[in-house]
Chain A
Amino acid sequence: MMTLFLEAVFVENLALAFFLGICTLLGGSRRLSTAVGLGIAITVVMTITLPINHLIHRFLLAPGAWAWAGMAELDLSHLSLICFIGSIAAMVQILEMVLDRFFPALARGLGIFLPLITVNCAILGGSLFMVDRHYDLGQTVVYAVGSGVGWALAVAALAAIRERVDGEHLPEGSASDSASQALVFAVIGIMSTAYMAFSGVRLP
């Protein structure tokens, strides 16, 4: 379990090793405070949604899930994409309402990023990996928390670097916004290289 958690955080970091959620990573890493909020939101959505998707997959969609109703041959797994994206969207909507009601300050801080979590591929990707690798419910929860924390770490680290680099002397073409994105990309590349050092690490 611990191995699975650490693997999800470091070795198989969704942002830096599988390139998931890059759009949000670019957009949400201008300020460290936003990045931390965003990371927490992603972790929460991930932790709630992945187990739900796991249950949906196991009891409604997987081949043989309807065996008790006499339909053992029924295989609905091609519907999993629509169901997963639906449950992610619903969960984000609910989270938005809860935050709005009980933590209005945090909700305002996250602003547009909250609804955008719906189209963050890290969460859909996590759901699909979870099905692909046949995790059971316990493993799914651990994997969800791990990859959420891993993603949050990546976005927070990137935001910290960007705040530091801001205002330094930059090469030609960096004046426009899209060119500074090129630099951010190079920074992510360096971070990803650093994370490669974790690959092959196996805990006893």
Chain B
Amino acid sequence: MSRFIQTLTRPVLEDNPITVQLLGLCSALAVTKSLETAFAMSAAVAAVLVGSNAVISLLRGVIPHPTRLVVQITIIASMVIVTDQLIAAFAPELSRQLSIFVSLIITNCIILGRAEAFAMTHGVTESIADALGNALGYLLLLTCVGAIRELLGRGALFGHQLLPLAREGGWFQPLEILHLPPAGFFLIALFIGLSSVLRNRSAKAAP
């Protein structure tokens, strides 16, 4: 059980998929304009990641080695299509905001990376733990970036106005740059740098 917990918690901070493994960056940059899309995207990635890791781990004895990439991509693609159709059916407005980025989960390197690096060589329970852990790590970073971008860019969180806007008689002047693509790059750069500085500190403190 302790190993399960360890596999689950390791990717959240220590081995975060975005800041440490540098995987799945495209979507992390694109959907973090608001917290709502960041959460929805994380949920979609979590669903696909858990599903594909579980299925690939179950089939790992059967998948022939030379064609494993094709098999993995097909499994992932099926999962993504199901998720995409579910979102389109139950939350059409959200599906419009996320536009093509749900479909692009197929080429999200976190999923193929975890399938190749973990699920192909580990049991089902462990693979699910690994998938959940990575999904949590992804969620954590997207939440941080999304919260900063929405709060400072629009003075709101989850669409609720928290800071009164200057143009409506309040005091808060929104920072428009946070809505533009460069803000995503700068914030992620900040988090990557922060996590590596923190890891250096703890590595120096340990011995």
Q: Please give the residue numbers on chain A whose beta carbons come within 8 Å of chain B beta carbons, in ascending order.
A: 16-23, 26, 78-79, 81-82, 85, 89, 118-121, 124-125, 128-129, 132, 172-173, 176, 178-179, 181-183, 185-186, 188-190, 192-193, 196
Contact = CB atoms under 8 A, between A and B. Distances in A.
A195 to B, nearest CB: 8
Nearest to B74: A82
A81 B106 contact: yes
Contact of B196 (A17, A18, A178, A192): A178
- Residue of B27, B107, B200 contacting most chain A CB atoms (<10 Å): B107
A64 B163 CA distance: 50
B26 A20 contact: yes
Contacts, number: 117
B192 A178 contact: yes
Contact of A132 (B73, B99, B109): B99
B26 A173 contact: no
A186 B73 contact: no
A173 B182 contact: no
Contacts of B188: 185
25 contacts: A20-B104, A22-B25, A23-B25, A78-B84, A82-B81, A85-B106, A119-B107, A119-B109, A128-B100, A132-B99, A132-B100, A173-B196, A173-B197, A176-B200, A178-B22, A178-B192, A179-B192, A179-B193, A182-B189, A182-B193, A185-B188, A185-B192, A186-B189, A192-B181, A192-B182
A19 B107 contact: no
A23 B26 contact: yes
Given A82-B77, A179-B197, A121 B107 contact: yes
Interface residues on B, range: 35 or more
Given A21-B26, A81-B106, A173-B196, A188 B185 contact: yes
A128 B107 CA distance: 12
A19 B100 contact: no
Interface in B21-41: 22-23, 25-27, 29-30
B128 interface: no
B120 to A, nearest CB: 16
A186 B84 CA distance: 32
* Most chain A CB atoms below 10 A, which of B20, B22, B23: B22
Interface string B29-70: 110000000000000000000000000000000000000011
B133 interface: no
A85 B73 contact: yes
Nearest to B20: A178
Given A21-B26, A78-B85, A179-B196, 10 more contacts: A16-B181, A18-B30, A19-B30, A19-B181, A23-B22, A23-B25, A82-B74, A132-B100, A178-B196, A183-B193
A89 B26 contact: no
Interface in B175-207: 180-186, 188-190, 192-193, 195-197, 199-200
B192 A125 contact: no
A192 B197 contact: no
A78 B81 contact: yes
Contacts of A19: 25-27, 29-30, 181, 184
User: Top 10 A-B pairs ranked by shortest CB distance?
Assistant: A189-B185, A185-B189, A182-B193, A182-B192, A179-B196, A19-B29, A173-B197, A121-B107, A192-B182, A128-B100
